[in-house]
A and B are shown apart, each in its own frame.
Chain A
């Protein structure tokens, strides 16, 4: 047994960092901009497939990590400018429905462009080894994934909390009219936040593809879980999304060891419990 449980826990952290990245983006969009973006998982899936294309055409995984978030963020900008702004006044129900339509489109577009079969990307040579851990070894790439995610999450946190732009964004969310008054285009600001949010999902997709490969429906499962993460952590709380992500990843890993049958139910039960007992989430204000 030695090492196996540790491996499971490490895998839980790896999965948790993916959740944290996705949920950090979702909390920007859902928590701060108040757009319940059901297509968030679809952007994640697109990120994985775009990464696949970049790697298979250039052979350079590093390029994929750099390019994918930008491509997905640009797509996000377009979606927000074309549709989400129009829907802001129609309310949540129509925002949910529209993003649901996006899921249909993206999922089928993936099948059309890349095919229905799973795709895979090989881990770059520099990261292909393993670190021995008892009788087994832990892949270096997974540690790399954790490190990259942590750096991106920390950088974004710094950007939001410690820079002028971050201050303007937070002010714009609290009091859009006020920021409008001081001559900043709030709509454009929100569009950029939307782009950054889905860009994070795209990055998560690019990072996961060497481990899991890509499947057209990969976004759906993740979507459900990351909503749970955001709700558990506290809607709009950046810290909550990150801690919630790691917490959910670890919980799933532990449940898989203890009682695999209930590992999925546990997450959604936790989410329901949080909404009913502490709707502001574990880290939410109010």
Chain B
């Protein structure tokens, strides 16, 4: 609870300290993607390589609802959640039939298919030009036309989603996901219908990713084709691992570091991904708990000394 309070305070103060509301909004939406991904990886132990699929589908769904139906923004977010959850449940149901690496490959294959579908289906997605002209309607009569206001709107939605994930992890449902991660066979033997839980976890992860996509569509009033490509999926994986999979705060931290570095360092040294790749490899080799676990490592060492 104290951590969550600190997080809320940080999010509330950020735009007053550093005035880059658009970048800060991006951190939040990307952070939500990473948190959603980690429900599958960190809690259930499934590496989903196709998270951008759910992000993209959510973004397109929200954008279409806003453009074609002139729907209210909250409804568009709902459309993003629903689209992401549905697609994720369908893909998840297929992906979990593949054992081990095959499951990873399936999410990967479906991501590639989704990308090419989005690329071809220009009427709906705008193809590689992206989807433009998305309105950003008022919410409860409050105009969100200003970047800082949209930041706060996003902050409220993302913090609510994050609180939901915290709750989920402590719930009996979350406990079953960890049981599946630790020992799927035993989970089955004590009476859990493992398949149902896995599909539900996919739906939740996909719904949250779809929500992130919808918020992103509202942020730039534009959905680029990149929002559904494999590079985005890779970035989600990389950022999450960097932050750490052991706690939902880890992916959030990783997403923030990743977004800030990719924006800041790309101005300083255009080859920053090289450095980033090296750091990432070192994390994978030596610090599997990610950045979030480092204070803990330090404490443990101190207490041993």
In their complex, do chains A and B touch, with some C-beta pair under 8 Å?
Answer: yes
Q: Mark A86-106, 1 if CB is under 8 A from B, else 0.
A: 110010111011101111110
Q: Which residue from A87, A228, A261 sits with its C-beta under 8 Å from B285?
A: A87
Chain B residues positioned under 8 Å from A92 (CB to CB): 47, 100-101, 104
B105 touches A111 (CB 8 A): no
Q: How far is the CA of A105 from the CA of B110 in the complex (A)?
A: 26
Q: Which residue from B105, B230, B238, B274 sits with its C-beta under 8 Å from A109?
A: B274
B188 vs chain A, min Cβ distance (A): 20
Does A112 sit within 8 A of B, measured CB to CB?
A: yes
A272 and B120 contact, Cβ closer than 8 Å, known pairs A36-B101, A108-B271, A112-B274: no
Does A279 sit within 8 A of B, measured CB to CB?
A: yes
Does A275 sit within 8 A of B, measured CB to CB?
A: yes
Q: Mark B31-57, 1 if CB is under 8 A from A, else 0.
A: 000000000010000010100000000
A108 touches B273 (CB 8 A): yes
Q: Which residue from A97, A107, A272 sits with its C-beta under 8 Å from B109?
A: A272
Does A181 sit within 8 A of B, measured CB to CB?
A: no
Does B241 sit within 8 A of A, measured CB to CB?
A: yes
B108 touches A98 (CB 8 A): no
Within 8 A of B (CB), among A172-224: 220, 224
B276 touches A97 (CB 8 A): no
A100 touches B101 (CB 8 A): no
A119 vs chain B, min Cβ distance (A): 17
Q: Which residue from B109, B116, B238 sits with its C-beta under 8 Å from A271?
A: B109
Does A269 sit within 8 A of B, measured CB to CB?
A: yes
Q: How far is the CA of A101 from the CA of B235 in the complex (A)?
A: 11
Chain B residues positioned under 8 Å from A87 (CB to CB): 284-285
Chain B residues positioned under 8 Å from A228 (CB to CB): 109
B109 touches A98 (CB 8 A): no
A269 touches B106 (CB 8 A): no
Chain B residues positioned under 8 Å from A268 (CB to CB): 109-110, 112-113, 116
A100 and B105 contact, Cβ closer than 8 Å, known pairs A83-B285, A108-B271: no
B116 touches A105 (CB 8 A): no
A62 vs chain B, min Cβ distance (A): 32
Does A265 sit within 8 A of B, measured CB to CB?
A: yes
Chain B residues positioned under 8 Å from A272 (CB to CB): 94, 106, 109-110, 113
B288 touches A101 (CB 8 A): no
Q: Mark A218-250, 1 if CB is under 8 A from B, else 0.
A: 001000100110010000000000000000000
Chain B residue at minimal CB-CB distance from A36: B101
A23 vs chain B, min Cβ distance (A): 14
Does A264 sit within 8 A of B, measured CB to CB?
A: yes
Q: How far is the CA of A262 from the CA of B120 in the complex (A)?
A: 9
Does A276 sit within 8 A of B, measured CB to CB?
A: yes
Select the residue from B98, B110, B120, B277 with max chain A CB neighbours within 10 A: B277
A90 touches B288 (CB 8 A): yes
A97 touches B241 (CB 8 A): yes
Q: How far is the CA of A86 from the CA of B282 in the complex (A)?
A: 12
Chain A residues positioned under 8 Å from B153 (CB to CB): none
Q: Which residue from A111, A227, A231, A265 sits with its C-beta under 8 Å from B113?
A: A265
Q: How far is the CA of A239 from the CA of B194 in the complex (A)?
A: 36
A94 vs chain B, min Cβ distance (A): 6
A279 vs chain B, min Cβ distance (A): 6
Q: How far is the CA of A90 from the CA of B278 in the complex (A)?
A: 19
Chain B residues positioned under 8 Å from A93 (CB to CB): 41, 47
Q: Which residue from B99, B112, B234 sits with its C-beta under 8 Å from A279?
A: B99
Q: How far is the CA of A97 from the CA of B239 in the complex (A)?
A: 11
B104 touches A104 (CB 8 A): no
Q: Which residue from B47, B108, B276, B280 sits with its C-beta under 8 Å from A227?
A: B108
A279 touches B98 (CB 8 A): yes
Chain A residues positioned under 8 Å from B47 (CB to CB): 92-93, 96
Q: How far is the CA of A33 from the CA of B113 in the complex (A)?
A: 28
B254 vs chain A, min Cβ distance (A): 12
Chain B residues positioned under 8 Å from A90 (CB to CB): 288
Q: How far is the CA of A265 from the CA of B284 in the complex (A)?
A: 32
Chain B residues positioned under 8 Å from A264 (CB to CB): 112, 116
Chain B residues positioned under 8 Å from A94 (CB to CB): 284, 288
Q: List 5 A-B contacts (CB under 8 A).
A: A83-B285, A96-B49, A268-B116, A271-B105, A272-B94
Closest CB pairs A-B (n = 9): A104-B277, A105-B277, A108-B274, A101-B281, A101-B280, A108-B273, A268-B109, A264-B116, A268-B112
Given contacts A105-B274, A228-B109, 13 further A-B contacts (CB under 8 A): A36-B104, A83-B281, A92-B47, A92-B104, A101-B281, A104-B238, A104-B273, A104-B280, A105-B281, A227-B108, A276-B106, A279-B99, A279-B102
